[in-house]
């Protein structure tokens, strides 16, 4: 006897995969993949958004602190601007003002060597000079020298008195300065 191979017979109905059912399955898988990718995208951007909101909150707090500091600094800034404005005004006035040292230098420059100036009084725009010299010619020489100074004007001899016992002239000269 010969042994035959066994034959199996499937009595169940055969299920065939149609193109239409395959498209549905691929579509559902694609849709699931899209939903999964969308969820990942949403979660990553949500993390970025939370980080940015946290940074914005920190920046707002810093802005509030700096605004408070600026409010404290503002009076100083106004004061600095006022000082700067006044400083500019002072510099402008200083350019037009002749210092007392300049007047004394000019007077000393034209004073003859035999004349001794014992007092200079400067009040507002008036200069009063008191001095001693051997005779009236030296006083005249001093007056001529003072007339040569452009900053001085209205030069007048107030007094010139010769003391007999010491051969000395006491004089007082008054002038305006510009």
Give backbone dihedrals phi and psi of 127, rounded to 5 degrees, phi first: -125, 130
pLDDT tens column, 20-76: 778 888 999 999 999 999 999 999 999 999 999 999 999 999 999 888 887 777 788
pLDDT tens column, 116-168: 999 988 887 788 999 999 888 889 999 999 888 888 888 898 998 887 777 88
Nearest to 139 by CA among 155, 127, 123, 151: 155
Residue 98 in this model has a pLDDT that exceeds 70: no
Distance separating alpha carbons of residues 111 and 146, to the nearest angstrom: 8
pTM of the model: 0.47
Q: At what angle do helices 136-147 and 100-110 cross, to 10 degrees?
A: 130
């Amino acid at each position: 006897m010969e042994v035959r191979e066994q034959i199996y017979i499937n009595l169940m109905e055969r299920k065939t995969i149609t193109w239409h059912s395959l498209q549905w399955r691929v579509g559902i898988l694609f849709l699931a993949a899209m939903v999964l990718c969308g969820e990942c995208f949403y979660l990553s951007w949500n993390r970025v958004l939370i980080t940015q909101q946290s940074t914005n909150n920190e920046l707002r707090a810093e802005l509030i602190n700096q605004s408070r500091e600026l409010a404290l600094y503002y009076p100083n800034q106004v004061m600095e601007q006022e000082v700067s404005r006044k400083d500019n005004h002072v510099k402008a006035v200083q350019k037009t003002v002749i210092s007392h040292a300049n007047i004394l230098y000019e007077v000393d420059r034209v004073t003859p060597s035999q004349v001794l100036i014992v007092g200079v009084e400067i009040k507002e725009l008036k200069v009063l000079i008191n001095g001693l010299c051997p005779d009236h010619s030296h006083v005249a020489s001093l007056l001529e020298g003072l007339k040569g100074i452009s900053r001085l004007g209205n030069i007048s001899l107030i007094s010139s008195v010769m003391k007999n016992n010491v051969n000395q002239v006491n004089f007082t000269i008054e002038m305006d300065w510009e």
